[in-house]
Amino acid sequence: MADLYTSAALPSGQSGTVVGANLVTQAYDRLVEFALRSVPSFRAVADKKVANQTHAGSSVLFQIYNDLASKTSTLTETVDVEAVAVPATSTIAVTLQEYGNAIVSTRKLDLFSLADVEPALANILAFNMNDSLDDVIKAVLAAGTKVIREIAGAISTAAVTGVSASDTIKAKDIRYVVAKMRAANVVPRRGNLFASYIHPEVSHDLRAETGTAAWRQPAEYVNPAGIYAGEIGTFEGVAFVESPRLPNSQAGSGSGTTQTRVYDTFVMGQQALAEAVAEEPHTVVGPVTDKLMRLRPLGWYAVAGWSLYRTDALYRIQTASSVRPNA
């Protein structure tokens, strides 16, 4: 039955005007909510930073000195030591780029909005800044050249198109990567632990294969200091951080809608990523410059750059997931 006070029509058989129809309005909650968000976290990987920059420039060069070869032969008392060449250096360049985004807040919006607009816009911009730079860094990490894939039940370096829907991550993939990094003298990130960023749909498969008993949960850590945001536990010498931001796309076997979705899992030690910053990311409130003082720009700005640093310190494991094998 229609409500007499909110309906513009009278009940059947009656005539006249519903006087209350225009007096009832909708109410709004002044507390605004935001879209569901994943936590940007890849910048934390960049632990190689500029320590003592010589001067301002559009790029920053990092130098790595190679070691001398070991000398095991004995010396002869009356013969001078023969000098060897100074070892060569490797150079890593990080190019600085401008990044930013902006919106415009209007006087009319401030006057007519039921909610407090400024804090909401500031929240949106701050997240956009971290979200955008996280995507920039993710693209750098996704270009890492140390890649293994799970193909037909074996660890492989064959083309990614060989990954099928059944090629989910295995414990042996983690053990293999840890062994390769330890053999290359890569320094772990926290104590004796390497770090991994893993997609939730991939960690589901890894924990299903290993069983929860094989994992050490964060609540069981003797010293929880330095725990990563999103950390789900340690396994085989690796601290795992879940993030839905890991690269994934339909790049495996098959075609069309049934092509296998392939996920990246990053495993890393120290100095996998280098960072150079000329101006730290920050929000900006621009001046009101229009003739009627109605428009106020708000945004964020940064001048920074990132580059892979020690090649052996980053491995990418590409696998499928049973949770979302293709779509």
Residue 246: CB atoms within 10 A of its CB come to 23
Asked if residue 46 is part of any domain, the answer here is yes
Asked if residue 13 is part of any domain, the answer here is no
Tens digit of each residue's pLDDT (9 = 90 or more) over 195-220: 999 999 999 999 999 887 889 988 88
Inter-helix orientation angle 200-210/171-183, to 10°: 100
CA distances from 107 to 124, 176, 284, 292, 297 (A): 19, 59, 18, 10, 11
The yes-or-no verdict on residue 5 having pLDDT over 60 is no
- Alpha carbon distance 191, 270 (integer Å): 11
Over residues 271-285, mean pLDDT: 95
Residue 151: CB atoms within 10 A of its CB come to 22
Model confidence at 315, in pLDDT bands (50, 70, 90)?
A: very high
Asked if residue 309 is part of any domain, the answer here is yes
Asked if residue 8 is part of any domain, the answer here is no
Domain residues for 90? Answer: 37-327
Mean pLDDT of the chain: 90
Residue 291: CB atoms within 10 A of its CB come to 6
The yes-or-no verdict on residue 8 having pLDDT over 60 is no
Tens digit of each residue's pLDDT (9 = 90 or more) over 290-303: 999 999 999 999 99
Asked if residue 22 is part of any domain, the answer here is no
- 216 forms beta bridges with 234
Strands (E), the chain: 48-49, 59-65, 89-95, 97-106, 147-151, 154-156, 194-198, 231-235, 238-242, 248-250, 261-268, 273-285, 295-308, 314-319
The DSSP secondary-structure symbol of 43 reads: G
- Count of the separate structural domains present in the chain: 1
Asked if residue 252 is part of any domain, the answer here is yes
Asked if residue 9 is part of any domain, the answer here is no
Query: For residue 309, what is the domain's CATH number?
Result: 3.90.1690
Q: What pLDDT was estimated at residue 109?
A: 87
Asked if residue 71 is part of any domain, the answer here is yes
Model confidence at 19, in pLDDT bands (50, 70, 90)?
A: low
